[in-house]
């Protein structure tokens, strides 16, 4: 890995904090995880037992996807199966490892969609043009990393999926069949009570299209949980794209507070407020000064939830807008994926979400209205819905849809998914 030499301003602060976290890892067992969800404590084993007494895991996810978009002559139909096989070793003197193989295969509809694959991963569909289903087939090592745990800290080195907070800035794009992964060193510590800190250096990102992007990216993230109030998160993401579109080389600094409380046995409420600023760095030819903010308020009544939110990815004079290139973008601004890249005039997303259980199933309905941050143009509206069911034997079944109705941005688009998944 080559560390860049341009450390000024917030870059210098990021370097100092990264060094402090590195020292904490050396001085501090096992709670921090790459995705912030915690990990199991590992039984201390001999060197040989650490390899022979590990754990095998496997997942299977079949999905049928249908896409109909105005302006594209043919619909896109995809039938794909994602299979993973992983092995996690036991622990030896704090060290452990994980290896995961992934295969995505077309099941009977290989040439009925444009799979958006990178180079040899592309299925070559051009005539007639078909709608995109971005699930290119292929087999690869998805994750291969070494962990070192000491106290309540962890160092992880290698190819890994990283998920921070709600995926808004750093995510694995877990909805797509081929997940996004990072070649990185990640440091995590929970030495401070009620707090978790992350620091990472990433020199390669492997995207959902099977493309590899070289980067000099620094990730700093920390959150503190206030009892009965919520969680405060601060972050600094310095993303320098060294091969690929330099337009997304940026530094983003932000703060977020979110929480949920019960009013009584039937009622509860939730809230969220987030603000971030983004500027250009390195060889980015554009001068960027854009802001992001997200406000959400909602209530819960007997497990039925209602949220009203307003998210803005700001525009800098209508020429360039706030971007989140390493996020799980499918999760935000509509499941029809019309805003995977923020338009130059920015984006305002006013949404309402209703969700809850229905017997053994879970469901959600979401309505979006999209407008330009600069100029106020009406982009369009979208209605999304999903219902999932988990059988007693552990298998999950799901049905999901998205209807985007265009006004002054792109064209009408309808997407539907049917899937089932099983995890060992």
176-199 confidence digits (pLDDT tens)? 999 999 999 999 999 999 999 999
Is residue 18 pLDDT above 50, yes or no?
no
Pairwise CA distance, residues 218 & 216, whole Å: 7
Is residue 154 pLDDT above 70, yes or no?
yes
> 327, 166 in Cβ contact below 8 A?
no
- Number of domain units in the chain: 1
Phi, psi values for residue 419, rounded to 5°: -145, 165
According to the model, what pLDDT value does residue 315 have?
Answer: 97
Integer angstrom CA distances of residue 74 from 111, 125, 193, 223, 414: 11, 11, 56, 47, 13
For residue 374, being part of any structural domain is answered with yes
| Token pair belonging to 264 | 């009584």
For residue 3, being part of any structural domain is answered with no
* Residue-number span of the structural domain to which 164 is assigned: 10-423
Is residue 8 pLDDT above 80, yes or no?
no
According to the model, what pLDDT value does residue 23 have?
Answer: 40
According to the model, what pLDDT value does residue 43 have?
Answer: 57
Query: Phi-psi region for residue 394, left (φ > 0), alpha (ψ -120 to 50) or beta?
Result: left
For residue 233, being part of any structural domain is answered with yes
DSSP state, residue 42: P
For residue 366, being part of any structural domain is answered with yes
Taking only the tens place, the pLDDT of each residue in 331-373 is 999 999 999 999 999 999 999 999 999 989 999 999 999 999 9
Integer angstrom CA distances of residue 410 from 58, 93, 337, 340: 39, 56, 11, 12
Binned at pLDDT 50, 70 and 90, residue 244 comes out as: confident
Binned at pLDDT 50, 70 and 90, residue 50 comes out as: confident
For residue 2, being part of any structural domain is answered with no
For residue 403, being part of any structural domain is answered with yes
The residues, any chain, with a CB within 8 Å of residue 16's CB and separated by 6 or more, are none
Q: Looking at residue 112, which CATH number applies to its domain?
A: 2.40.160.10
For residue 248, being part of any structural domain is answered with yes
Cα Rg, the chain, nearest whole Å = 22
């Amino acid at each position: 890995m080559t560390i860049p030499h341009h450390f000024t301003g917030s870059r210098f602060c990021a370097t100092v904090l990264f060094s402090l976290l590195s020292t904490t890892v050396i001085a501090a067992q096992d709670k921090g995880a790459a995705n912030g969800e915690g990990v199991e404590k590992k039984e201390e084993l001999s060197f040989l037992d650490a390899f022979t007494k590990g754990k095998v895991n496997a997942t299977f996810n079949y999905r049928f996807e249908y896409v109909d978009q105005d302006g594209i002559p043919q619909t896109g139909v995809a039938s794909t199966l994602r299979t993973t096989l992983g092995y996690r070793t036991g622990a030896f003197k704090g060290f452990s490892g994980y290896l995961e193989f992934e295969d995505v295969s077309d099941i009977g509809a290989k040439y009925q969609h444009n799979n958006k694959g990178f180079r040899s991963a592309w299925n070559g569909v051009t005539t007639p043009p078909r709608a995109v289903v971005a699930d290119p087939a292929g087999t690869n090592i998805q994750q291969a990393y070494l962990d070192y745990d000491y106290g309540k800290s962890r160092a992880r080195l290698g190819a890994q999926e990283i998920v921070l907070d709600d995926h808004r800035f750093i995510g694995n794009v877990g909805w797509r069949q081929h997940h996004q992964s990072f070649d990185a060193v990640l440091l995590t510590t929970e030495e401070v009570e009620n707090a978790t800190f992350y620091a990472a250096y990433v020199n390669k990102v492997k995207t959902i299209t099977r493309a590899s992007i070289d980067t000099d990216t620094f990730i700093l993230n920390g959150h503190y949980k206030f009892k009965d109030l919520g969680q405060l998160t601060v972050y600094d993401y310095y993303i320098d794209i060294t091969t690929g579109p330099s337009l997304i080389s940026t530094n983003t600094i932000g703060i977020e507070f979110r929480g949920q409380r019960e009013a009584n046995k039937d009622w509860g409420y939730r809230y969220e407020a987030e603000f971030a600023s983004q500027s250009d760095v390195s060889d980015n030819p554009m001068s960027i000064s854009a802001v992001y903010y997200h406000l959400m308020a909602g209530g819960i009544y007997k497990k039925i939830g209602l949220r009203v939110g307003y998210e803005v990815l700001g525009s800098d004079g209508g020429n360039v807008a706030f971007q989140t290139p390493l996020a799980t973008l499918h999760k935000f601004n509509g499941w029809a994926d019309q805003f995977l890249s923020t338009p130059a005039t920015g984006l305002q997303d006013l949404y309402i979400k209703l969700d809850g259980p229905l017997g053994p199933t879970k469901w959600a309905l979401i309505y979006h209205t999209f407008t330009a941050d600069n100029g106020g143009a009406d982009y369009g509206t979208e209605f999304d819905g999903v219902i999932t069911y988990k059988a007693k034997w552990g298998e999950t079944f799901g049905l999901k849809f998205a209807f985007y109705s265009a006004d002054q941005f792109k064209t009408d688009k309808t997407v539907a998914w049917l899937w089932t998944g099983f995890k060992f």
